[in-house]
Structure formats: structure tokens, C-alpha cells
Chain A
């Protein structure tokens, strides 16, 4: 019974799924923008920490050699690599590893290593990723396999990590795109039927490049499919071209107004070239000595307010407690005012305004 849907939604609502994602909307940057975010974040952190040092011991910050934005980035990259090692140990699927790596990278676009050491954040990011990708394991099992780690090390940072991610847990990955392109390639007219078997080394090497790309900023700048195609082109440039041509030669039906115009092939080649360079130049695990050097200096310049037991930490904690106490007192006062007469107010007396519900209402937290 063909008929016209008079309530049909306009075609504009059917943009590509990726373009509707939070990743597309909120986590894409230009290389300059990324550099700017990191340097601003680093400067602000240094400013705050210097002030804290001075407040407790005037002159004490002058000899401190704070870590730079580049050094912060180096440290984070090292811990992305560590995530890979941990995932191998737990035999977590690729999706968990890729997601945890994205979480860690995104976290450090909002936070500094001088406040939160990536060694700790990594554990929380990975545990969160097991849950968001539907591969959960119990916290006990998780911590018991990681030396010197207890449950609170993981859980204490969970809200902070989730907040830093803006509670946007879904991540689109290049390894998925690689799989899609690999399937496409097997469907090309000239591909022999046993191609996937005989040429599986192409896929394996491309996947190695995808993993190397995880150590770079590629995912902040390019789409998962661009990264995947660049990785194939590193291994088998002709194959990548064939796939690209097959896409270019497929006509878009006029009815498909939802498909955006294709980028020019020069634009695509330029992106692919840039990604290849990125993978070759920065897709490497930082040298342990370099990491050690940064970590050593980090010990001396980390935010004392975040280091348990320091004067600054205790002062900050006392301040927070004082505020909470004041709030509680206020609340008790408010209740007292409401409790004056069990039979209600006198006529003519202004009725107490029904207050807004307190988010931190203790009675709700049981």
C-alpha cells in the first residue's frame, strides 16, 4: 500500500550518523587549536600552583622548574601506551583499549598532569571504558590484577573523569572504520575471492598503524575513516586508491539529499598525507628516559593542594569542610523556621516560600 507520508520528517534530519555524534560536535580541533588549548591550560595551572607555593612559603616557587605543555603531552602519550599493555594483560577487546585511550586524551584537554597524574587517571579511564563499551569486569578483579592499586584509587576519580568527558561516552574509532573499508575492498570487482585470506597481512599491518595513530592527535583532527584509509595507504597505496575510486565512481542517487557533497580528491589526498606524516613522526612510544625525566620534575611541581598530607591539601580540605558545615547550619535554621508551629502559620503571616530541593539533600542519599 504505497502512499505518501504526510508527516514525514524532512530529509535534513538524516545527516550521516557520525556527524550527529558528540565526537563530531565537541571533540574536533585544528592542530593550532589543540596547541593553544594545551598551552593555555599549562600556563593557567603553573600560575595557580606558583601562587599556592608562595602562599605557604614565599619565594619557594622561584626555583621550581614546571613542566611544559609539550612535556605534559609526552607523559600522557606514554600512559596511552600503558593502557595498551594493561589491556593486553586483561585481554580486553580493541574497543576497550581505543576508548580508554580517547578518554585519557580528552581528559587532558581539560586537566593538567600537575593536578592529576596520568598514572591514576589511566586506571579510572580504562575501568570506565570497560563499562561504557559493555565489557564490564568487577572492580575487585580489576584492582587485584594491578599492583599497588585499591578500589578507591579507581573510583575516586570516576566522576572527575566522567565530568571531563562531558559525560559523552560514545567514541567512534578508526579500527572500526578500518574493518569497514576492509570489507568494502573485498567487494571490489577486481578483488579475488580468497583475498581476505591471502592478503590478511595488509589488514594486520594497517591495524598496527591504526594503533600507532592512537598515540597521536589524529583522532582530534581527522575522521575515523580518514585515519583508517591513511593506514591502509601506508601499507598498500594502490588498494587505498582503488577503494577511493570506487567510492568516487558510485553515483549518488538524486533522492539522497542527505548525503553531503564529496570532498575533492585533492583535499582527501592532502588529509591522508598529513595523517601518514603524523603516524610516522609521532606515532611512537616516548623514550622511557625522557618520561622519567619529566616525571621526576613533576614530583616537585605538582599542585600541593592535590597531594595528600601537605599543608595546602589540609588547608583546602578544612575550607571545604567549613563550607559544608555552614550549609548544614543554614539548613537546620531553615527547618526550624518552618517548624515553628505544627498547626501552621497564623493567618496574615506570610507563608514560608516552598524552597527548592537541595541537590545534596542528605535524606535522599541513603
Chain B
């Protein structure tokens, strides 16, 4: 056996697959362990043999970017190896996601919890954007079927803009922010057209002044005139700071939208503009270990399918990345005893799911 093949097979042997936790046409996800330490991992087996052009673009993107990105709020790719005609990605184990937490009605979210989740999301995103990687496909989980993605899609993509920026991710994060407060999807359209209508109904139809040039976008169509309603009417319990941040994530003009570095204050110059709003008595965000968590057990779920909507030839302005995915927020287990009954909460941007957008 060649040295390279031997190295690959050694890698393979250092990870043990245990239980299948999800399956799609494109990949199978297993729960597993690192043999030497017993550490829990997720192993995503991508079936490559079926592609006539060899390793497919989404697998390559996923591996390429995750190999380079290491950040506490971005899911970690621990190892990669091949087996037969399959590509195996060994990922940090995240066993719950925001959608499950939102749906668990027994959980109460404090403003400080939301602040903590949002801070994690923005930090992970700031790191990705700083590395010229656009997330481009936020979702609450990996398991929801494709249309869900539409709910987090910004208006410039719905109007067919071919040159877009990191601002697309900020819009998505704004939608998730709103969803965490409402405990139900904020802008849930039933089709692309309905999505625009839903957005305009909630935030008012944009004027030329608010969003210069939007009527010139390739897929622009007038979808009706809707008046602006103050966010306050819907988000009755939110603080003024919170609504200020939310409104700046959901600005129509992409260039005016906040950037992740402005939110995190991680930008190199000056102090942060917007830390996730602080209003007493919740001056500080919840510590990850104190965040709400689900109590249900994980059951195998079908993986999302490729929606065939990927634009292979498309290039962004200097940014070609498009790692697929979702927001997952997690916390560390407080004790091993928790492990059997409760699940940790992801605090990572998870790029591993097959989502193709816009």
C-alpha cells in the first residue's frame, strides 16, 4: 500500500462510526467517536461515486473552506478521509440546533439568552466574512426542507441580483434574530414572489430613496405598495436597542446594512458600534452553559436534498465561497450525567449541510 493510502486508512481507523443519524441521496450522517479519546463526533459520508464529474462542487466547497476556517463559533472539521468511493468528513459533534430549541415550548428565553446566541452567530459570521467566505444559506437547522431557506433570503437575491455581498448573511441573521424573539418564523413566504410580498408587508415597500436602483435588478417586479409598520407593533417586549439592531440588519439597501464586524466590534478600527443591545437588567449575555436546552432525544431525520439551484458558473464580486448552511448554537455539557438526557446547544455556524442558494 502506498504511503498516501496508508495515511488515509490510518485516519479512517482513528474514527469509529456508531449510529446513523440522518440520510439523504447525497450523504449519510453518523454519530461516532474518536477511537483514542472517546470524544463524540459526527461523520458525514458523502457519496461521490455517483457523480460523473468526480468530487462534486458542494463537497469540494465544504471541505475547502472548513479546512481553513477555525473559530470557536464555526463548526470544526476535524478530519477528512476517503473510503471506497465515499468522502468522509469528521465534524465536531453538535447535537441540537436553534430550531429545536425554538420549538420546545417548555423553554423560556431571556433577552440575555437571545443576546448570547446572536453574539455567537455574529462572531462566527464576522470570522467568515473576514476570510472572504460568504455563508449564503442561513437556516435554523439542516433538516428542514429547502423552501425554508427562502424565509431568510434577502430581497436583493429575490430580485435576482448577481453581485451581492456579505450583507446577504446579515439579512438572514436579522430574520433569525426576529424568530428567536417571536418563537415563530418572521418572514415566511410561500413562494419567491410571496416572500417579497411578505417582506414588504412587514417592513413596507422600499422606495427608490431607501434602496437606490433596486427596480433595475434583473428579476425586479413590482409586488404592490405596503405601508411601513413600526417593528415595535410586533416586537412588543423588545428593548429599543434590540429593535435598533434588528432594523439595521433588515435594511433594504445592502450597503447600509450593518456588517458583522460592526456588530462584534472586532473590526480593527475603533470600538464596537453595536454590541448585542444591552438593557438592564440583562446587562450581560447568558453564559453558554446557562442557555436553554432541549430535553428530547435525537432521532434519525432525513437530510435535506440538493435543490439543484446551485449556480456553478456564478461568481461573486471577489468572493466565490458559498459554504452551505445553517446556524447552530451550542453549549458545552455541564456534566457527563447530562449527556444521556439533555442535549448541548450548538454555538457554531455549521457549514456542513447541503444547501444551495441563492
Tell me whether A167 is interfacial, beta carbon within 8 Å: yes
Residue of B nearest to A111 (CB): B4
Residue in chain B with minimal CB distance to A320: B1
Interface size class of B (residues with CB under 8 A): 35 or more
**12 A-B pairs in the complex with CB atoms less than 8 angstroms apart:** A128-B54, A132-B60, A134-B320, A139-B54, A158-B54, A159-B82, A167-B67, A170-B64, A170-B67, A170-B68, A256-B268, A359-B88
Against B, the Cβ 8 Å flags (1 = close, 0 = not) of A274-307 are 0000000000000000000000000000000000
Q: In the complex, how many angstroms separate the beta carbon of B50 from the nearest chain A beta carbon?
A: 9
When chains A and B are docked, how far (Å) is the Cα of A14 from the Cα of B71? 10
Cβ of B130 and Cβ of A17 under 8 Å apart? yes
The stretch of A5-13, A194-202, A332-340 that contacts the partner chain: A5-13
Q: Which residue of A lies closest to B84 (CB)?
A: A360
Q: What is the CB-to-nearest-CB distance from A7 to chain B, in angstroms, rounded to a whole number?
A: 6
User: Which residue on chain B has the smallest CB distance to residue A362?
Assistant: B84
In Å, the complex CA distance between A222 and B74 comes to: 29
- Judge if A314 is at the interface, Cβ distance under 8 Å: no
Q: Which of B55, B80, B272 contacts A3 (CB 8 A)?
A: B272
Tell me the chain B residues, 69-126 only, with Cβ under 8 Å from chain A. Answer: 70-72, 80-86, 88, 116, 119, 123
Contact status of A136 and B312, CB under 8 A, knowing A7-B285, A167-B67, A168-B67: yes
Min C-beta distance of B68 to chain A, whole Å: 5
- B208 smallest CB distance to A (angstroms): 30
Are B272 and A2 neighbours in the complex by a CB distance under 8 Å?
yes
In the assembled complex, which residues on chain B have CB atoms less than 8 Å from the CB atom of A3? 272, 275, 278
Q: Which residues of B contact A13 (CB under 8 A)?
A: 71
Task: Write out the residue numbers on chain A whose beta carbons fall within 8 Å of the beta carbon of B68.
Answer: 20-22, 170
A169 to B59, CA, bound (A): 12
Q: Does A177 have its Cβ within 8 Å of any Cβ on chain B? A: no
B70 cross-chain contacts in A, Cβ below 8 A: 20
Q: Is the CB of A5 within 8 A of B5?
A: no
CA distance A167 to B77 in the complex (A): 11
Known contacts A110-B4, A163-B82, A365-B84; 7 additional CB pairs below 8 A are A5-B265, A134-B61, A151-B52, A162-B82, A170-B65, A357-B18, A364-B28
Q: Which residues of A lie under 8 Å from residue B2 when comparing CB positions?
A: 111, 115, 160
A360 contacts B83, C-beta separation under 8 Å: yes
> Is B47 part of the contact surface with A, judged by Cβ < 8 Å?
yes
Does B16 sit at the interface, judged by CB under 8 A? yes
Chain A 138-182 per-residue mask, 1 if CB under 8 angstroms from chain B, else 0 = 110000000000010011001110111011111000000000000
A1-53 contacts to B (CB < 8 Å) = 1-9, 13-14, 17, 20-22
| A79 contact set on B, CB distance < 8 A | none
Q: A139: shortest Cβ distance to chain B, in Å? A: 5
Residues of chain A contacted by B244 (CB below 8 angstroms):
1
| A contact face: mostly helix, strand, loop, or mixed | loop
Tell yes or no: A127 within 8 A of B by CB: yes
Is A131 positioned at the interface, with any CB of B under 8 Å from its CB? yes
Question: Does residue B53 face the partner (Cβ distance < 8 Å to A)?
Answer: yes
Q: What residues of chain B lie closer than 8 Å to A5, measured between beta carbons?
A: 119, 264-265, 272, 275
B230 at interface (Cβ–Cβ under 8 A)? no
Q: Is A356 an interface residue (CB 8 A)?
A: yes
A139 touches B52 (CB 8 A): yes
B337 within 8 A of partner (CB): no
Q: Smallest distance from the beta carbon of A80 to chain B beta carbons, Å?
A: 20
Asked if B252 lies at the interface with its beta carbon under 8 angstroms from chain A, I say: no
Contact A14 B266 (CB under 8 A): yes
CB closest chain-B residue, reference A115: B2
**In the complex, A143 Cα to B45 Cα: how many Å?**
28
Q: Give A5 to B122 CA distance when docked, in angstroms.
A: 12
Q: Is the CB of A127 within 8 A of B54?
A: yes
**A359 cross-chain contacts in B, Cβ below 8 A:** 12, 17, 45, 83-84, 86, 88
**Measured between alpha carbons, how far is A162 from B46 in the docked complex, in Å?**
15
Residues of B within 8 A of A111 (CB): 2-4
- B131: interface (CB < 8 Å): yes
Query: From residue A72, how far is it (CB to closest CB) to chain B in Å?
Result: 15
B53 touches A139 (CB 8 A): yes
Residues on the A chain within 8 Å of B45, using CB: 359, 364
B57: CB under 8 A from chain A? yes
* Residue of B whose beta carbon sits closest to that of A107: B4
B4 touches A160 (CB 8 A): yes
* Alpha-carbon distance A199/B30, docked complex (angstroms): 58
Is residue B226 within 8 Å, beta carbon to beta carbon, of the partner chain?
no
